[in-house]
Amino acid sequence: MDPQKVLQVPLDDIVFEGRNQAYGAYFLRKIYNRHLFRALLIAGLFSVVAIAAPLIISYINGIINQGKDQEVSVEINMENLDLPPEKEDTPPPPPPPEEPPPMKATIRYIVPEPKKDEEVVEEEPPPPVEQLAESEISNKTQEGNEEGVSEGVIDAPEEAPPPVVEEEEKKPSTQIFTIVEQKPEFEGGEAALMKYVAENVKYPSIARETGIEGTVVVKFVVDEVGNVSQATAVRGIGGGCDQEALRVVNTLSGKWKPGKQRGRPVKVWFTLPVKFKLQ
């Protein structure tokens, strides 16, 4: 190739000079710039549309809603308002007076008192016996109704008798106390309790063979009559010692003075340590 024409010839022709230009690589290199320009143009258009889309949508919504959400200011003159009349608090009319019940007809009859002849004053003669038997006797004569009430009689409303309050039977309390004024006490005291436990506990063979030692803490309830219930091992050492301690504690039932709260026997929790030690 002439050196003077090197700058005027495309790079692809220089590279493929003397080669098979019908090969696909030469054709692809020739149309590369055209495809690159198209790709950049399409990408630029998409970018512009993506950026301008929110602005276009906002502008369209503004046109559609124009006139709908316009604020309207209204001036109100309080002096020209017709206010409703104020309601006057008038008390309700009093209830009509109750008419008194009709009175029975009475005849005036006063029992004469014994007096001296000169002190006797002529008065109205007493009514005949027949009228006295059929009419009410009073200190004055008046007309009335046979179904009426006698003068001075007031019909008091009948009151229902007060309900009979039956005393509820005192039921044993289900509450179990932890701290009471007077604790449960074993018959003979604490020394007798420890002696009883020591004499009745049998060392389990498994614990003896494996050399298990320690203290089992048993918690149980002493009820109102001195019986033991709800015994459980809150701390055990295994090897059958827990079961043995519970067995001995259950044999303590009926050998207690119950605990008291406010002078009344109650259920009380009691904790007893049972010690296992190999001799």
Q: What pLDDT shows up at residue 74? A: 44
pLDDT in tens, 81-115: 455 566 666 778 888 877 777 776 666 656 566 66
pTM above 0.85, yes or no: no
Fold entry, domain 176-276: TolA/TonB C-terminal domain (3.30.2420)
Percent of the chain with pLDDT over 90: 31
pLDDT in tens, 130-143: 665 566 666 666 66
Q: Which residue has the higher pLDDT, 8 or 176?
A: 176
H-assigned helices in 18-134 = 24-30, 32-64, 129-134
pLDDT in tens, 22-43: 666 766 666 777 888 889 999 9
**Whether residue 149 has pLDDT greater than 90:** no
DSSP string, 198-249: HHH----HHHHHHT--EEEEEEEEE-TTS-EEEEEEEE---TTHHHHHHHHH
pLDDT in tens, 163-188: 655 544 455 668 899 999 999 999 98
